[in-house]
A and B are shown apart, each in its own frame.
Chain A
Amino acid sequence: MRRPSVLVVDAGLGNIGSVVAALQRLNCSVHSSPTPPSPGATDGFSHAVLPGVGAFAAGMEALKSSAWEAWIKEMWWQTDRPLLGICLGMQLLASEGMEGAPDGDAVPGLDLIPGRVERLSVAGNMVLPHVGWNTLHWHSPANPLAQGLPEVGDMYFIHSYAFRPRDSAHSLADSDYGGSFTAVVGRGACYGVQFHPEKSQRLGRRLLENFLALPPC
């Protein structure tokens, strides 16, 4: 197979350096850009990664103003090539989100995977953000993204909101913090992970390798 050529979306959603560095350590070429590539240049990429940290509303605002929203929805998504959202990037794949929403009205997301991003509901003495290493449980260990990963393995999380998919078939793995929440979503070639594979040492590296092994079309 051809060496993957990865486009990292640099829409100003926080530091993308670690994601770029983690991909560079794998066998692929990595390109990051603050603006979307032209249709011609888009054809040169086999995989796209949407990293991000921060609030949902601010994230969507940044994707809109940088024209990435249109590129992701109208150009990349249509070609069915692999897309990986990380942390906020995963949440933005949802239909809507509540973080940073004015007057409690949901903010529309990219709507590639139906669902809503809501604050984690934790009880009693549990604190937010949910930060640290937590166990990932795959619903379908046969998923290409889960290849070679242990059935229970720890990934590094740092977030206060979580993706609630409308269709449970889109939830590929979950984790538990004061209740179960979706940690990996997938629909077609579009994937999202709530944790940070680029900060999750060996297992995170394996997940990124699995993503890069997805066929480009």
Chain B
Amino acid sequence: MLKRRLIPKLQLGLSRSFRGARPVLVVSRQFDNRRPIGDPLSQAKIYEAQMADELILVDLERTSESWPMLLQTLESVAGALATPLAVGGGVRNFEQVQELLDRGADKVVLNSAAVRQPSLIDRIAGAYGSQCVVLSLDTRSNGSGGWQIWTDAGRLDGKREAVTWAQEAVDRGAGEVLATAIDRDGTGIGLDIALTRKLTQELGVPLTISGGCGLAEHFIEGYRAGAAAVAAGTFFAQRDQNPIQCRSHIHNAGISIRNCH
């Protein structure tokens, strides 16, 4: 039986010192207030040891300065781990997708670039298969029961309705959708369950929901609403609870999830 997935998110930022910039792991709140919390590679190894089902590695800086550091971090993580990796942040063109795949990404996470140039999805899916393309949606409520997408790390109005856009992206070849509720990010108040239900209903591909996990119960709510996977950054990074403990809560709630063998 296919298991639901539990996915720690590794968010990258840059730490600048007199020796130059280096990649650091950061947590954020509502896509803002980034706080450095450690080293990406060591944290990735810890997550693998704790049976993370997959890892999402995203560069929050998204600049030409941070891009080579994302590649370097990815290379070291992919070389050391045997865990599926979805990678993104700052991807603007097809060549960058190739760079990520060459360094060990299994899937590429597309957000702003797909909104600006939707045909990029068709091109990547055509060349590497749909399983390789994850459409990332950063959403805010539109105030009337729907959701709007925001691009550029939540700063710009994407001017598209979330569900319609996700459907278009899936039609173009996105194999998975990752949805993050911006206003819940880092708050621990729980996932956007209405959004989870809506996307699960409307999309024919697996959904990963993210933004707001503060308790194991929040993961359970996400799975019950239909999500194939729940992703969390702050929740695991703060070490209130590690993925193994969280997993046993989920298992005890009767949800099919990978067990420790």
A170 within 8 A of B: no
B53 touches A129 (CB 8 A): no
CB contacts (< 8 Å) of B131 on chain A: these are: 53, 129, 131, 158-160
Residues A128 and B205 in contact, CB atoms below 8 Å apart: yes
**A15 and B106 contact, CB distance less than 8 A:** yes
* A14 and B82 contact, CB distance less than 8 A: no
Indicate which residue in A18, A130, A131, A159 contacts B104 across the interface (CB closer than 8 Å): A18
Residues of A within 8 A of B261 (CB): 150, 153, 202-203
Given A17-B78, A133-B5, A201 and B104 contact (CB-CB distance below 8 Å)? no
Q: Which residues of B contact A29 (CB under 8 A)?
A: none
Closest to A208 in B: B82
Q: Is the CB of A127 within 8 A of B229?
A: no
- B residues near A200, Cβ cutoff 8 Å: 82
Distance (Å) between the CB of B107 and the closest chain A CB? 8
Kindly provide the distance from the CB of A115 to the nearest chain B CB, expressed in whole angstroms. 21
Taken together as a complex, chains A and B put the C-alpha atoms of A129 and B128 apart, in Å, by 14
**Smallest Cβ-Cβ distance to A126: which chain B residue:** B2
Across the interface, do B82 and A15 meet the contact criterion of CB distance under 8 Å? Answer: no
Instruction: For A18, list chain B residues within 8 Å (CB).
Output: 78, 82, 104, 106
B-side interface residues, number (CB < 8 Å): 37
Given A17-B104, A134-B2, A153-B261: A127 in contact with B128 (beta carbons within 8 A)? no
The digit string for A106-129, where 1 denotes a CB below 8 A from any CB of B, is: 000000000000000000000111
Asked if B82 and A199 sit within 8 Å, CB to CB, the answer is yes
Assembled-state Cα–Cα distance A176/B256 (Å): 14
Within the complex, the shortest CB–CB distance from B238 to chain A, in Å, comes to: 24
Q: Which residues of B103-138 have CB atoms within 8 Å of chain A's CB atoms? A: 103-106, 127-132
Query: A201 touches which one: B51, B78, B106 (CB < 8 A)?
Result: B51
Q: Tell yes or no: A209 within 8 A of B by CB.
A: no
Task: Take A132-B229, A201-B48 as given contacts and tell me if A53 and B104 are in contact as well, using a CB distance cutoff of 8 Å.
Answer: no
Q: Which of A54, A150, A154, A199 contacts B83 (CB 8 A)?
A: A199
Question: Could you list some 6 contacts between A and B, CB below 8 A?
Answer: A14-B132, A54-B128, A131-B176, A134-B1, A150-B261, A160-B130
Q: Are B102 and A131 in contact (CB under 8 A)?
A: no
Q: A182-217: which residues lie under 8 A (CB-CB) from chain B?
A: 196, 198-205
Nearest to B176 among chain A residues (CB) is: A131
Interface size class of A (residues with CB under 8 A): 35 or more
What is the CB-to-nearest-CB distance from A97 to chain B, in angstroms, rounded to a whole number? 13
- Does A45 interact with chain B (Cβ within 8 Å)? no
Contacts of A202 in B (CB 8 A): 261
Decide if A76 is an interface residue (CB 8 Å cutoff): no
- How far is A157 from B129 in the complex, measured between Cα atoms in Å? 14
Chain A residues, CB < 8 A from B254: none
With A127-B205, A132-B3, A133-B5 already in contact, the answer to whether A15 and B101 are too (CB < 8 A) is yes
Cβ-defined contact, B82 with A201, below 8 A:
yes
Which secondary structure dominates where chain A touches chain B? mixed
Considering only CB atoms, which chain B residue lies closest to A14 in the complex? Answer: B128
Tell me, in angstroms, the Cα distance from A53 to B130 when the chains sit together.
10
A52 to B4, CA, bound (A): 25
Q: In B236-260, which residues have CB < 8 Å from any A CB? A: 258
**Shortest CB distance A56–B (Å):** 10
Contact A14 B83 (CB under 8 A): no
A129 contacts B82, CB within 8 Å?
A: no
State whether the Cβ of B188 lies closer than 8 Å to any Cβ in chain A. no
- Which residue of the partner chain, among A17, A22, A154, A176, contacts B102 with CB atoms under 8 Å? A17
Contact of A135 with B by CB under 8 A: yes
Within 8 Å of chain B (Cβ to Cβ): is A55? yes
Give the residue name and chain of the B residue nearest to A200 (CB).
B82
Q: Does any Cβ of A come within 8 Å of B36's Cβ?
A: no
A127–B202 alpha-carbon span in the complex (Å):
11
For A159, list chain B residues within 8 Å (CB): 131
Bound state CA distance, A159 and B84, in angstroms? 14
Q: Look across to chain B and name the residue whose beta carbon is closest to the beta carbon of A201.
A: B82
Is A21 an interface residue, CB under 8 A from the partner?
yes
Which residues on the A side are within 8 Å of B175 (C-beta)? 129, 131
